[in-house]
Structures are given as C-alpha cells and as structure tokens.
C-alpha cells in the first residue's frame, strides 16, 4: 500500500514508519519542515505541507494519491505538567480538529479508500468493569477532561460522516516506551523520582496504557482489518495506586507520596483528581479478536 502519515514526527510516528516499512508499505510523511532527514533515514518520503493549510493538504494528498491516510496529528508539550498541558491545549485542539477537516476534505478527490484517526481509549463514561468501544465518551467531568472528550467525539463524528471511506478510530491508551513521557528516563520518570506524582485519595482511577511499539503494530494491522473503533490498549489496565507504585520501583524512585483529593484539588486541579480517582479502563478484546493485537489476552 501507499500510506500517507500526518503527524509522523510525533511519539508514535517513528515506530509506525518502521513497522509499515517492515510490512513492505510505501510510506509518505506529511511535514511542515523541509529539513526532514530523520524521516528519510527510517524510510518515509517527506511531503511538505502544513496540516492547517487546506489547499496545501489537498495538493499533497492529490499528488501522492495514497491508498490510506493515517492521522496522528498532535501538538503536545515535551513536559507533562498541568501548566504546560493547559498552555498547549488550544494549539493541540486546533491541530487535531482543523487537520482532521483538511485531510478528510482531500480524500475523495484523491481516491483514498481508508482513513485511520488517532483517538482516545481512556475517556469513557465511568461504570463497572472495562469499557468496550460501545461505551460513550465522558459527558460530565472536570472541565479539561470534558473538553478533551468532546474533541475526540467531534473528530470521530466528522470522520464517520464522511462518505466513501473506510474509517478506523484508533483509541489508544497512554503511550509508554521510547520517545514518550512514560519511561524511566522520560518526563514522568523524572517527576516520580522527584516525588512530584502522588497517589491521590485511594488512587482507584483505572489507567489503560499501551507500549508505543504495540500501538504501531496495531495501527499497521488496522490498515487491513474491519473498519470501526478499536481500543488499542494493553491487556492489564491498572488503578493509579498500583501502576504508579510499580512505575516508581522501575524508575528507581521512592514509593509515591499519598495526598487527599482536597490537597490534590488545591495543588493540581480537578483534572488530576479525575484521572487518579474516576478514570475507567478500556478493554482490548475487540482489537485482539479483529486485529490479532499482540497485547490482547489469550
């Protein structure tokens, strides 16, 4: 297949390019920068266009005429802190929403048959057990969580309503592994060693993680699997008090401090409390069944 990736310089971009090349696909990478030697080094042909420039995107997609487009567009900060995430949120939403609109508008004339979109597997409505893909996104939560869930809902709804394409929503969990925040050497590892990431309340919020290489594997598999939404998450979602303690040990850090929900509200705000205490884990059963996802339980 001829594959065009938008957002190939993000956390999942490099492992995804390597996986696609290993699967013998011809890979093109939409990029704003003419100096894209790193993309060429791993086997992707740079295509110069700003995802926020509708005309440039249409021209690029029309010239490449890919069989599939993979949208991994984000604009996230290097550091994962409440302040930096808040500062980046408007730009990140703009890149995701407008980039999605521009890519979708370019598909029909270029004869693109399949569209894969980065979505979220960790903002499901609270409830018992792990959420499958039929569970709706959060409707009522802290302001930042609500805004994020609305963005993903908007992205998926627009893609689903676009005629003539096979649409796949890739509902990733929290990325961990090389190039992500969640590594021993990464930003979260550093914060945990500094005792800056506490267990909040009972720490019962359930996090769904996925290794960046597994996410790339599943994305490549979704090029040929049935259209639809997939939770791309590991098979062992864990409450905050468990995964954070295990991560601290792996990072060579002391046990995480514990603080009350009230203390966390004052220090970090309601979004941090929501994640730590109300987040719902996601089931990867469908991805295991339809995509043979390697992290799916047997």
Q: What is the pLDDT of residues 253-297, one digit of tens each?
A: 999 999 999 999 999 999 999 999 999 999 999 999 999 997 544
What's the whole-number mean pLDDT along residues 153-172?
96
Confidence band (pLDDT; 50, 70, 90) for 82?
low
Residue 229 counted as domain residue: yes
> How many structural domains compose the chain?
1
Q: What is the pLDDT of residue 298?
A: 40
Determine how β-strand 114-120 pairs with β-strand 228-232.
Answer: unpaired
Any idea which of 39-43, 64-68, 116-120, 272-276 has the lowest mean pLDDT? 39-43
What's the whole-number mean pLDDT along residues 234-263?
96
φ and ψ at residue 222, rounded to 5 degrees: -70, -15
Residue 261 counted as domain residue: no
Q: Which pLDDT tens digit goes with each residue over 177-195? A: 998 999 998 899 999 999 9
Q: What is the pLDDT of residue 81?
A: 64
Residue 296 counted as domain residue: no
- Distance, in Å, from the CA atom of 96 to the CA atom of 31, rounded to the nearest integer, reads 14
Helical H runs in the chain?
13-22, 37-41, 54-64, 82-110, 143-160, 187-193, 212-222, 240-250, 261-268, 270-278, 285-291
Residue 32 counted as domain residue: yes
Residue 189 counted as domain residue: no
- For residues 297 and 232, the answer to whether their CB atoms sit within 8 Å is no
- Distance, in Å, from the CA atom of 83 to the CA atom of 102, rounded to the nearest integer, reads 29
Range of the domain at 82: 2-179+209-233+284-291
Residue 257 counted as domain residue: no
Could you list the beta-strand ranges (E) of 160-262. Answer: 166-172, 174-176, 199-200, 206-207, 209-211, 228-232, 238-239, 258-259
Q: Is 246 exposed, middle or buried (0-12, 13-18, 19+ CB in 10 A)?
A: exposed
Any idea which of 56-60, 232-236, 265-269, 294-298 has the lowest mean pLDDT? 294-298
């Amino acid at each position: 297949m001829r594959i065009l990736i938008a957002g190939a310089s993000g956390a999942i971009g490099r492992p995804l390019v390597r996986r696609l090349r290993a699967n013998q696909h011809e890979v093109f990478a939409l990029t704003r920068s003419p100096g894209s030697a790193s993309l060429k080094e791993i086997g992707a042909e740079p295509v110069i266009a700003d995802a926020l420039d509708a005309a440039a995107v249409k021209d690029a997609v029309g010239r490449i005429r890919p069989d599939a487009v993979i949208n991994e567009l984000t604009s996230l900060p290097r550091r994962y802190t409440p302040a930096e995430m808040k500062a980046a949120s408007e730009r990140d939403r703009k890149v995701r929403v407008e980039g999605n609109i521009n890519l979708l508008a370019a598909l029909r004339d270029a004869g693109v048959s399949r569209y894969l979109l980065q979505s979220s597997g960790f903002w499901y409505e609270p409830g018992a057990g792990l959420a499958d893909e039929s569970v709706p996104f959060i409707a009522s939560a802290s302001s930042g969580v609500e805004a994020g869930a609305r963005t993903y809902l908007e992205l998926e709804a627009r893609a689903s309503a676009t005629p003539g394409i096979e649409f796949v929503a890739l509902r990733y969990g929290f990325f961990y592994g090389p190039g992500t925040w969640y590594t021993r050497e990464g930003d979260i590892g550093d914060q945990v060693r500094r005792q800056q990431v506490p267990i909040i309340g009972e720490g019962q919020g359930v996090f769904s993680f996925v290794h960046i290489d597994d996410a790339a594997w599943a994305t490549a598999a979704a090029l040929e699997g049935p259209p639809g939404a997939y939770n791309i998450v590991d098979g062992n979602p864990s409450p905050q008090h468990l995964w954070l303690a295990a991560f601290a040990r792996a990072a060579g850090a002391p046990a995480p401090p514990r603080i009350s929900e009230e203390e966390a509200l004052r220090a970090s705000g309601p979004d941090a409390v929501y994640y730590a205490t109300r987040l719902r884990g996601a089931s990867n059963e469908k991805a295991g069944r339809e995509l043979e996802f390697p992290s799916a339980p047997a």
